Amino acid sequence: MTNASQYTNKLLPGSRFPKINCPVLNSNEVELGRVQQDAAWQMVVVYRGQHCPMCTQYLNQLEEIKQSLQDIGVSLIAVSADSEAQLLAHKEKLSVSYPIAFELKPEQMNALGLYVSQPRNAQETDHLFAEPAVYVVNEHGTVQVVDISNNPFVRPSLSTLLRGITWIKNPDNNYPIRGMHKG
């Protein structure tokens, strides 16, 4: 049996989000986890790629909460290991207005603590790809919320996540970053 610590290094809550730059369509590059527009926080959604119908559905559902995220000061970006050509083909199935980055490299996946998979066959895709994850990065560049999955079937409910982020961001709640106790 393989020891999980041999192949993954999870990004911990309360840690600095690593500096990761990826290209986006119609622009040069974007730094993931860095505040954009007028938002103080950023939600970074890692998806498997255009080959995954569940990812297509999830990305389209994200569009439905984008404005609510903006209303509470959270920008949104998605990223995968797909090539530019794969992203362009995928955009035909997407109805999104938030930025999508591409060409996430294996070393960047490792820095994010992602589970990485090999394609099952050439029809699936032609490269290693990351399994889904969601990171919410606060105004200090610190991981406030993290959800890392090893398969496409486990993803946070977007309505629950939106309610949670709204509650966390309310200064009256004085809610700390959770999951930092080592014991």
CA 124 from centre of chain: 21
Low-confidence ranges of the chain (pLDDT < 70): 1-8, 37, 183
Parallel/antiparallel/unpaired status of strands 41-46 and 74-79: parallel
Predicted pLDDT at 125: 83
Q: What is the pTM of this model?
A: 0.93
Predicted pLDDT at 178: 92
- Inter-residue contact 111 to 130 (CB < 8 Å): no
Parallel/antiparallel/unpaired status of strands 29-31 and 41-46: unpaired
Q: What is the DSSP letter of 174?
A: -
143, with CB counted inside 10 A (0-12, 13-18, 19+), is buried
Predicted pLDDT at 120: 87
pLDDT tens profile 28-70:
899 999 877 678 999 999 999 999 999 999 999 999 999 999 9
Predicted pLDDT at 39: 86
Distance CA 172, CA 30 (A): 33
Predicted pLDDT at 7: 57
pLDDT averaged over the chain? 91
Predicted pLDDT at 1: 45
- Inter-residue contact 137 to 17 (CB < 8 Å): yes
Distance CA 52, CA 144 (A): 27
